[in-house]
Amino acid sequence: MAALDPVADIRTWSSLNGMSQYTVSHAGRESGEPFANYLFDVSQDGRKIAELSHDYRGDEHWMRLPGGSWVPLSGRIIEGGGPQPLYLSAAGIKAVNNLIG
């Protein structure tokens, strides 16, 4: 039996200061390489609205519209992980709001 990835099984609502609610879910890795970037989907009302990524250490972050080009971001955009639920940081909420207009 394969081990479960605790991050991949976490889905949560993120709400900050009355802003829109987003669901952040782990979407895997870019490749099978040991240090491949982590991928995340951001959904609103059941519809994927953005994709996020960060390097294996969490030092570099990117965002894109589904299927679009990656745009580098400064600052941490996802909080939680491991045993904690995933949610967008304040900077992540602002970046997604700017991306989707």
CB count within 10 Å of CB 23 equals 20
Taking Cα atoms as reference points, which of 1, 3, 4, 5 lies closest to residue 81?
5
Q: Contact 11/81 with Cβ under 8 angstroms?
A: no
Higher-scoring residue by pLDDT: 18, 72: 72
Banded model confidence at residue 4, pLDDT cuts 50, 70, 90? very low
Higher-scoring residue by pLDDT: 39, 9: 39
Give residue limits of the domains in the chain: 11-100
Distance in angstroms (rounded) separating the CA atoms of residues 71 and 30: 16
Q: Which residue do the tokens 């895997």 mark?
A: 28
How much is the average pLDDT of 11-17?
Answer: 39
pLDDT for residue 7: 39
pLDDT tens digits, one per residue of 27-74 = 989 888 888 999 999 999 999 999 999 988 888 999 999 989 999 998
Distance in angstroms (rounded) separating the CA atoms of residues 84 and 101: 29
Encoding tokens for residue 77? 């955009």
pLDDT for residue 3: 39
Encoding tokens for residue 38? 């982590």
